[in-house]
Amino acid sequence: MLLGLACTVGMAYAQAAIPVYGFLVKNTYPHDPRAFTQGLLFKDGHLYESTGQNGQSSLRKVDLKTGRVLQREMLDQSVFGEGITDVGDEIMALTWTTQTGYVFDQKTFKLKRKFAYKGEGWGLASDAKYVYMSDGSAAIRVLDPKTLAEVRRFDVKAEGKPIERLNELEMVDGQLFANVWGADVIARIDPNSGKVVGWIDLTGLLPPAQRGTENPDAVLNGIAWDKHGKRLFVTGKLWPKLFEIELIEIQRH
């Protein structure tokens, strides 16, 4: 096991009144090092993953233990795939700049319909009531899960300061977890108020020298929550590994 002591607790994101969490690595699994991970979710015993890059964007069903891709649907070469989430027996997916989302059948990956939105698409998450969408800013859009129309939106703030570059999203026991693009941190967000209620510092989880690539885009990105097994999984773009971690609170003022 590896304990992430978060020596960089003084990171720009940490605020005095907000708890900071490190991590224990409970399990390590193989991950496709060619996968430019944009979205990640765990359902019915498997990982579902979306990948980006024009001509390489896809929706995948992945075996957790081996990292083997069991099922794949390639997106049109003209689009750059982004985040995914599940609602019922459907998987919803975003694209980066084409302002078009896709709804797939979870079992067959057959495209059922498309939906439109303004601006960029980054991350998606869902709960029993809503779908949550990030667009690279500090704003989170709240969508109706049936129509995917925007119901409201809120800004994510830590001690009153907007937190921008919110990327991949996951709902974890009522909190919205968000990768912050380009940083080894995850924000824990109250979806009712938009306040950051915790920081997860994943510094050292997979140092750049161990990522197997010098690509500067090989950053932390990808959060999946097994709500039945209470397991938290994280990975990154082009990372050769996926981690199951346990959070350890290491700082509270």
Both tokens of 97, joined, read 């700049």
- Separation of alpha carbons 41 and 234, rounded Å: 10
- Each residue's pLDDT, cut to its tens digit, for the chain (253 residues) gives 344 434 343 445 555 589 999 999 999 999 999 999 999 999 999 999 999 989 999 999 999 999 999 999 999 999 999 999 999 999 999 999 999 999 999 999 999 999 999 999 999 999 989 999 999 999 999 999 999 999 999 999 999 999 999 999 999 999 999 999 999 999 999 999 999 999 999 999 999 999 999 899 999 999 999 999 999 999 999 999 999 999 999 865 4
pTM of the predicted model, to two decimals? 0.91
